[in-house]
Amino acid sequence: MTRPLKTLTLISVVLLLSACAAFRPQGGQEHLQDRLSELEHWQVRGKMSVRTPDDGATGYLDWQQQQREFDIYIAGPLGQGATRLSGDGHSAELTLPGWDEPRSAESPEELMLLYMGWNFPVSDIRYWVKGQPSPRGDAVTTYDESGLLSSMEQYGWEIRYSRYSQQNGFWVPGLVKVSGYDFRFTFSIREWTLYD
């Protein structure tokens, strides 16, 4: 390799590495976690799949969250089999396919257990889907070299993260896999919308 070509190659490699660094999050784990705590009003769209010991299903997901108020809508292919779970810190409503009226309870966890037989920490998922442990309990966390959460264990559930992207200054995951107690939930997020 001639000297000018070696120099050009070296400059290209340096520029490429610099460009890659510019698209990686800067700062430590604490900084990124603090930023996620500010994110309380958002919407995600994509797909959600559920695997249980007896069954499995995939649907289109539209989830809106504003502080403790949530509205999670899941529809099967061609809009069939729509399920909606909504509520706030005081009550929740669940509508399953074939129901004329929603059922209500004091918490989403109570509804899921009563009508679906799932013991699932629904109220904590709003933290998990952002790439953040729930502040309501202890968690064992693992971070990648950029300070982004790559895996976490909380309440006996294991959560794995990948496909991060930057949205309005926040680094949010595009793929969230939750497993435990013979259940597997996968959130494949196509679109994040963040609100002030």
Write the pLDDT tens digit of every residue in 99-147: 989 999 999 999 988 988 777 888 889 999 999 999 888 999 999 988 8
- Assess contact for 143 and 132: CB atoms under 8 A: no
pTM of the model: 0.80
- Residue 67 class from Cβ within 10 Å (0-12 exposed, 13-18 middle, 19+ buried)? exposed
Residue type, 146: S
Picking from 129, 161, 167, 157, the residue whose alpha carbon sits closest to that of residue 144 is: 161
**Fold classification of 28-194 (topology level):** outer membrane lipoprotein receptor (LolB), chain A (2.50.20)
Residue type, 79: G
Indicate the helix (H) or strand (E) that contains 77: none
Radius of gyration of the chain (CA): 20
Structure confidence by residue, pLDDT tens digits, 142-194: 999 888 999 999 999 999 999 999 988 889 999 999 999 888 999 999 999 99
